[in-house]
Amino acid sequence: MAKPLKIGITCYPTLGGSGVVATELGKLLAERGHEIHFITHSIPFRLGKFRKNIYYHEVEVNDYYVFRYPPYDLSLASKMAQVAKMQKLDLLHVHYAVPHAICAFLAKQMMGNGLKTVTTLHGTDITVLAQDESLKDMIRLGILQSDAVTAVSGDLIKETRELLDITQPIDLTYNFVDKRIYYPRDIRSLRADYARPEEKILMHISNFRPVKRVGDVIDIFARVRETMPAKLLLVGEGPDLTRIQCKVEEMGLAESVHYMGKQDDVAQVISLADLMLLPSEKESFGLVALEAMACGVPTIGSQAGGIPELVTDGETGYLSPIGDTASMAANSIRLLQDPQLYERFREACLDRARTRFCNDRITSEYEQIYYRVLGLEAPVPVTACYE
Ligand code: GMT
């Protein structure tokens, strides 16, 4: 039998898809008997209640008076090494290259190279930050010094290779959903709070950053509303939110748009929607489209990055060129006006989420990578998803 591992996980604990993936992965690995140590600056927001096999180590930043800027990265690296030593970790798995891959490299050096490190690239660490010449070489070093590197889509692997001139193997590990949490919820009692029975509900969930093109979401919605009664639910917050609120006002849509802020029970919220809108400029995978898919909600989106690897155009949603809001609106209307077509898409969504992106399969893919890096016998891989 394969030996259970002791794994340190570092991620951004308070926001974003990379933190969600890292935390959910840690929980699933703990369920499989591995000992998981989160090394982060605060408790990962999806960690929830006390769980067997899960520990949390807080990174405290030293603000000694000579430091003009408290050195978080160095504190993190020291904490990683300290926890690795104290808990006899087998490896560190860091999510998002900057600064985590470099901190893991420093921790490894402090441990005299005995510690293995795995880096998962999530998207903007490559597609935005690695475009910056002042960060590029550091990101490249972090990747080269990792014992294994994974990325969340084939497109992100390609972009990493091209941008950073990297030839070492990069494993593909898609985002996943826990099917015990993400399934179509019964929202009959809730729906009436947001829309009348004849109104369709369109939804967008993001961190409201420019790469998400939330302005396009409003344009798509405005066009859909010209044809049918509809409401738009905007979930999340971020730097573009105020600009978006102004745009909504200017377009006379204020009565039809609900701002839901940040939400914890995403599966419940998504189950309210008839369509998910994801018109991003850059999107290495698009976790939110997968969460929607698992709840039976098709996505109307752009062909950016890894979205086409997730959303099958014409089967589980429709994809258009970035910025082509007319086509995205036409596709939304086509789907919403045809109940039979919509039902086919919904079934295809549920089927694809369960079979290709389920927690059993992707957790096992990460597990195989850990054992490979450690040169240990691995458990039998899970290649199918269980109902
Ligand atoms: O979506 C974001 O901007 C947040 C970002 C993050 O790093 O938390 O998400 C990235 O990682 C997710 C998990 O792997 C992916 O599903 C998102 O597509 C990716 N975002 C972008 O590439 C913009």
In a domain? residue 91: yes
What's the average model confidence in pLDDT over 165-176? 97
Collect all residues with Cβ–Cβ distance below 8 Å to 344 and sequence separation of at least 6: none
Ligand 1 pocket test, pick from 93, 177, 283 with the greatest ligand atom count within 8 Å of Cβ, gives 283
Per-residue confidence (pLDDT) for residue 267, from 0 to 100 = 96
Same domain, 305 and 368: no
- What integer best gives the mean pLDDT of the chain? 95
Residues 201-218 pLDDT 10s: 999 999 999 999 999 999
pLDDT at 1 > cutoff 90: no
The answer, yes or no, to whether any atom of ligand 1 lies below 6 A from the CB of 274, is no
d(CA 64, CA 66): 6
In a domain? residue 379: no
Same domain, 349 and 365: no
Q: How confident is the model at residue 387 (pLDDT cuts 50, 70, 90)?
A: low
CA nearest neighbour of 22 among 39, 1, 5, 3: 39
The answer, yes or no, to whether any atom of ligand 1 lies below 6 A from the CB of 302, is no
Q: Which domain holds residue 204?
A: 188-355
Per-residue confidence (pLDDT) for residue 51, from 0 to 100 = 86
**Cα dihedral across residues 33, 39, 42, 44: positive or negative:** negative
Same domain, 132 and 234: no
pLDDT at 85 > cutoff 80: yes
d(CA 335, CA 317): 9
Q: How confident is the model at residue 288 (pLDDT cuts 50, 70, 90)?
A: very high
Per-residue confidence (pLDDT) for residue 246, from 0 to 100 = 98
The answer, yes or no, to whether any atom of ligand 1 lies below 6 A from the CB of 95, is no
Same domain, 243 and 142: no
What's the average model confidence in pLDDT over 301-305? 98
Same domain, 169 and 228: no
What pTM value is reported for the model? 0.95
Same domain, 349 and 362: no
d(CA 38, CA 57): 6
Looking at the 3D structure of the chain, how many domains does it have?
2
Same domain, 156 and 221: no
The answer, yes or no, to whether any atom of ligand 1 lies below 6 A from the CB of 357, is no
Q: Checking DSSP bridges between strand 299-302 and strand 275-278, what pairing results, if any? A: parallel
Work out which ligand 1 atom sits closest to the CA atom of 280. 23
- What is the Å distance from ligand 1's center to 112 Cα? 33
The answer, yes or no, to whether any atom of ligand 1 lies below 6 A from the CB of 98, is no
Same domain, 161 and 275: no
Same domain, 232 and 260: yes
In a domain? residue 272: yes
In a domain? residue 1: no
Per-residue confidence (pLDDT) for residue 62, from 0 to 100 = 86
In a domain? residue 387: no
Same domain, 219 and 168: no
pLDDT at 245 > cutoff 70: yes
Q: How confident is the model at residue 117 (pLDDT cuts 50, 70, 90)?
A: very high
- What is the Å distance from ligand 1's center to 346 Cα? 24
The answer, yes or no, to whether any atom of ligand 1 lies below 6 A from the CB of 121, is no
Where are the strands (E) in the chain, listed by range?
6-10, 35-40, 54-58, 91-95, 116-121, 148-151, 171-172, 200-205, 230-235, 257-261, 275-278, 299-302, 317-320
Same domain, 139 and 49: yes
Q: What is the CATH number for 304?
A: 3.40.50.2000
Same domain, 160 and 16: yes
Q: How confident is the model at residue 45 (pLDDT cuts 50, 70, 90)?
A: confident
Q: How confident is the model at residue 185 (pLDDT cuts 50, 70, 90)?
A: very high
In a domain? residue 383: no
Concatenated DSSP letters of 209-236: -GGG-HHHHHHHHHHHHHHS-EEEEEE-
In a domain? residue 107: yes
pLDDT at 248 > cutoff 80: yes
- What is the Å distance from ligand 1's center to 86 Cα? 32
- What is the Å distance from ligand 1's center to 288 Cα? 9
pLDDT at 385 > cutoff 90: no
pLDDT at 278 > cutoff 90: yes
